[in-house]
A and B are shown apart, each in its own frame.
Chain A
Amino acid sequence: AQSVTQPDIHITVSEGASLELRCNYSYGATPYLFWYVQSPGQGLQLLLKYFSGDTLVQGIKGFEAEFKRSQSSFNLRKPSVHWSDAAEYFCAVGGTNAGKSTFGDGTTLTVKP
C-alpha cells in the first residue's frame, strides 16, 4: 500500500527566510511524486512533480524539491519565503496515473513579517 507522511503539521518562518517542508513516502514501485499548495477556499495547485530523471525538480513560484530514493523522501524547498506563500502544502505519491494519488495530511505554513 502506498502512503505519505508529512511530519510537520505546522511550520512558521520569517519572510525572507529559507523553507524546507518534509515528505516521506512508501510506494512499491517507482514513485511519481507531487507537491501541491492549497490556499483557503481554493482547490489544489500543482507546484512541481517528479517522474524520472534529475532528482532535483524545479517548480513554480520559486519552489524546488529533491527526490532521495534511499531515504524515501521528497522534500520541498524555497530559498526565500514571501508572505504570499502562507498556505497548506500537500505531498502526494502515485503511479503513472496522477489521478489516483495518495496525499499526506499537509503542512500549514505561516509566514511572519
Chain B
Amino acid sequence: ETGVTQSPTHLIKTRGQQVTLRCSSQSGHNTVSWYQQALGQGPQFIFQYYREEENGRGNFPPRFSGLQFPNYSSELNVNALELDDSALYLCASSSYLSGGAGDTQYFGPGTRLTVL
C-alpha cells in the first residue's frame, strides 16, 4: 500500500499571499487531518475532513480552510499569510469509524512553509 504523500516539500511565500498545500491519503483511508508544527513545538491540530466534510477544527482562524476530494486526497489553503504561519504542515490519514476506536494516523513527510 502507498503511504501518505504531500506536496510541495518546501515553499516560500511573502506576507499577504495565499498558499495551497496538498496531501494524498494512504490507500483505503477516508479521513485526513492537518497539523501545524512550528519550530520547537509539537504538532497543533488545524482541522479534520471525513468523507469530504469538515469534522472538527482546532483553534485556527477561518483563513485556514480545507477540502477533501472523492478520492480522499486533501488540500489546505491559507489566505492572507502572516509571518507566524511559517511552520511545517503535516497531514495524516486514517480510517475513522464514527464512534469507533483504534484508528491509527499515518503522517506524511510535511510541507515546510516559510513566510517572508
Contact = CB atoms under 8 A, between A and B. Distances in A.
B66 interface: no
Interface string B89-104: 0101010100111111
Contacts of B33: 99-100
A30 to B, nearest CB: 10
Given A42-B109, A43-B107, A105-B40, A96 B45 contact: no
A57 interface: no
A100 B106 CA distance: 13
A49 B101 contact: no
What is the interface of chain B mostly: helix, strand, loop, or mixed? loop
Interface in A1-46: 4, 32, 36, 41-46
Interface in B60-95: 90, 92, 94
Contacts of A51: 101-102
Size band of the A side of the interface?
20 to 34
Contact of B103 (A4, A43, A99): A99
A102 B43 CA distance: 8
A98 B45 contact: no
Given A51-B101, A104-B42, A45 B48 contact: no
A96 B100 contact: yes
Contacts of A98: 94, 96, 103-105
B2 interface: no
A90 B43 contact: yes
Interface of B: 4, 31-33, 35, 40-45, 48, 55-56, 58, 90, 92, 94, 96, 99-110
Given A96-B101, A99-B48, 8 more contacts: A43-B4, A43-B92, A44-B92, A44-B107, A98-B94, A104-B42, A106-B41, A106-B42
Give the 4 A-B CB pairs with smallest separation, nearest first.
Answer: A103-B42, A43-B107, A99-B33, A44-B107
